[in-house]
Chain A
Amino acid sequence: MSARIGIVGIGHCRFGNSSEYDLVDVIAYSANDAFRDAGGLHLRKEVDQVLVGNMAAGMFNHQTSVASALISRMDMEPCPAELVENGPASGASAIRLGYMAIASGMADVVLVAAGEVMRVVSGWEATNIVATMAHTEAEYNMGLTLPGFAGMFTRLYMEKYGMTERDLALVAVKDHDNGAKNIYSHVQLPVTIEAIADGENANVVNNYVAEPLRMYSTCPISDGSAAVILVNMDSPKAKLFPKKPIRIAGIASATDTHCVHNRKDPLVLDAVRISAEKAYKMAGVGPKDISLAELHDAFVIFELLNSEEVGFFERGKSFLGVRNRETEIGGRIPINTSGGLKAKGHPVGATGVSQVVELVRQLRGEAEEGRQVKDPKYGMAVNFGGFGNNVVTTILAKD
């Protein structure tokens, strides 16, 4: 029988602008929050392994060895600590490695803390730093950025399946509706379809970023952190944590070609599909069992493509589900109840952990009024690294 590993503490700061704070303090804030949630800061002495998720502190903050710095900031010496860098999937990868540490028997309690402080540099520079995840010669050197790729994807999808720019705006309206109710969201203002698609000033309010993607199809640049505490549910240490664990039923990752142009069909995200299939198999469930999902929507097109790859919709049909309000809270499969990256924000290294924190809040029944999904059993998170070339899918269960 495989290990039973659960989440017994969650921490999160409000995403937004933390550029006046030190990155390590920002990450430690959520780590402290997670210990308080788990039963008290004294529990940090029970931790066998710390894993830190961060994508680019070396470039954004001119800081390296972030895991070592966090240990000292948290008074946790001599606990082992490592940094996990996997682009925008660093957070979920850190959770997956934490799961593996416990499953291997080398640890019973793991702190996964993740964060990014991006707004210390200009928006131009941030876009450039994030673009370094692309292939240096064949993509980055061309001047291509992540919004550029997302724009090309969106155009292909629109040509092939008949989706409109208004459909993209409908996803944004839904995400901002949810984000407005989330205390942790960067953007806490709802938007209307009139303001960003139907009204006469919509083209100005919702200007093009990478055609046909507009500003409201693109996540903001955010700072922030999130943390979770993982426990071997069958170890004596589990009894130290008063809250009922939310079990990690499935967690898996998969990779795809580094260069986007080298995929047989650029619209097919193999790494999402394969990681989801593996996570479903590990959890012993299928798409119909999932009560809600946090799907990596750095660009709105990703939310749609991901929701197809994980089996919630047939290929090319997800935007019709959005038109039918199937992905809203109360719908058939609520997606991005947190507001998603679109409204909650996307501090790149923190996002994967933030998604899992949202699932725990929902499965515990602790989400804010108006965005709590009714009696959820299973939650899924898809954290997308690179341009879909390194993806982690996590399925949590309320037992």
Chain B
Amino acid sequence: MIDFSVYGEQTPHISGYKCLKCGTIFYPAPMVCKGCDAHRDPVTGKHWEQFDLEGPCKLLTWTRVWNLPEGFNRKFLMFGMVEFPNGLRASGRIECVGDPVIGATMEASVIEADERPGAPVKVFQFS
């Protein structure tokens, strides 16, 4: 049995995935490449490359949610959808003062969040 926990990272990252056969990129990870039908083995990762998805991105839309799910002891949270320069898109949280602007350039980073029970999870933060 493989114990994945021994590979735990210090700084949280979220990966994009690149099929090395045809170059198509993905987020989140697929199990088959839509560009060339290559399969991805999640254990060996052979013929696929992982890269950090972070940095500048463009805000596509956003919302401020007031009825948060169980475990979120905050009045509200802002969420947004962004597009990276490589064309990949992602959804995540927004940290900013006031209302964000659609089309604005934001900076994507990754934090660990522990509002819900269980192990902390990786979360995109756009600011």
What are the interface flags for A113-150 relative to B under an 8 Å C-beta threshold, 1 for contact and 0 otherwise?
00000000011110110010001011101111101100
The reply to whether the CB of A211 lies closer than 8 angstroms to some CB of chain B is: yes
Return the chain A residue nearest B29 by Cβ. Answer: A137
Is A262 interfacial (CB-CB < 8 Å)?
A: yes
- Chain A positions within 8 Å of B65 at CB level: 145, 147-148, 151, 209-211
In the bound complex, CA of A140 to CA of B90 (Å)? 12
Q: A152-B80, A152-B81, A262-B89 are in contact. Are A141 and B123 (CB under 8 A)?
A: yes
Q: Interface size (B, Cβ < 8 Å)?
A: 32
Beta-carbon contact of A207 and B115 below 8 Å = no
> In the complex, which of the residues B66, B71, B72, B116 contacts A210, with contact meaning CB atoms closer than 8 Å?
B66
Is B58's CB within 8 Å of the partner chain A? no
Identify the closest chain B residue to A218 (Cβ).
B67
Verify B79–A259 contact, CB threshold 8 A: no
The one of A128, A152, A259 that contacts B69, using a Cβ cutoff of 8 Å: A128
User: Could you tell me the distance in whole angstroms from the C-beta of B60 to the nearest C-beta in chain A?
Assistant: 7
Please tell me if B63 contacts chain A, counting CB pairs below 8 Å.
yes
Closest CB in chain A relative to B35 CB, distance in Å = 14
What B residues does A209 contact at CB under 8 A? 65-67
Residue A260 CB within 8 A of the other chain:
yes
Q: Please tell me which one of the listed residues B62, B81, B92 contacts residue A260 in the complex, with CB atoms under 8 A apart.
A: B81
Tell me whether A156 and B60 are in contact (CB under 8 A).
Answer: yes
A138: which B residues are within 8 A, CB to CB? Answer: 27-28, 90-91
CB of A313 within 8 A of chain B?
no
**Is A261 interfacial (CB 8 A cutoff)?**
yes
How many A-B residue pairs lie within 8 Å, measured between CB atoms? Answer: 106
How far, in angstroms, from A125 to B72 measured CA to CA in the complex? Answer: 11
A143 touches B79 (CB 8 A): yes
Does the CB pair B79–A147 fall under 8 Å? no
Q: Which of B62, B70, B91 has the most CB of A within 10 A?
A: B91
Question: Given A141-B122, A152-B62, A128–B70 Cβ distance below 8 Å?
Answer: yes
A139-B71 Cα distance, complex, nearest whole Å: 16
| Residue among B67, B69, B77 with most chain A CB within 10 A | B69
Beyond A210-B65, A260-B91, 4 additional contacts (C-beta under 8 Å) are A145-B68, A147-B67, A261-B91, A266-B60
Interface residue? B104 (CB, 8 A): no
Which residue of A is nearest B91, CB measured? Answer: A261
| Chain A residue, CB-CB nearest to B125 | A142
Check B81 against A266 for contact (C-beta < 8 Å): yes
> Is A208's beta carbon under 8 Å from chain B?
yes
Number of interface residues of A (CB under 8 A): 37
At the interface, is chain A mostly helix, strand, loop or mixed? helix
A187-214: which residues lie under 8 A (CB-CB) from chain B? Answer: 207-213
* Structural contact, B69 and A142, CB atoms closer than 8 A: no
Tell me whether B69 and A127 are in contact (CB under 8 A): yes
A142 touches B63 (CB 8 A): no
Give the CA-CA distance A143 to B64 in the complex, in Å: 12
Asked whether any CB of chain B lies closer than 8 Å to the CB of A155, the reply is yes
Q: Given the complex, which residues of B lie within 8 Å of A147, measured CB to CB?
A: 65, 67
How far is A249 from B113 in the complex, measured between Cα atoms in Å?
Answer: 49
Of residues B64, B71, B72, which shows the largest number of chain A Cβ atoms within 10 Å of its Cβ?
Answer: B64
How does the 8 Å CB contact mask read for B90-119 relative to A, with 1 for contact and 0 for none? 111100000000100000000001011000
CB-contact partner of A135 in B28, B93, B102, under 8 A: B28
Interchain nearest-CB distance for B19 vs A (Å): 15
B124 near A207: Cβ-Cβ < 8 Å:
no
Chain A residues whose C-beta falls within 8 Å of the C-beta of B93 in the assembled complex? 142-143
Least Cβ distance of A169 to chain B in Å?
17
B27 to chain A: which residues have CB within 8 Å? 138
Q: Report yes or no: A148 in contact with B90, Cβ–Cβ below 8 A.
A: no
Taking the closest CB of chain B, its distance from the CB of A271, in whole angstroms, is 17
Judging by beta carbons under 8 Å apart, are A261 and B90 in contact? yes
Q: Which of A40-98 contact B (CB under 8 A)?
A: none
Knowing A125-B70, A127-B69, A131-B69 touch, does A144 contact B79 (C-beta < 8 A)? yes
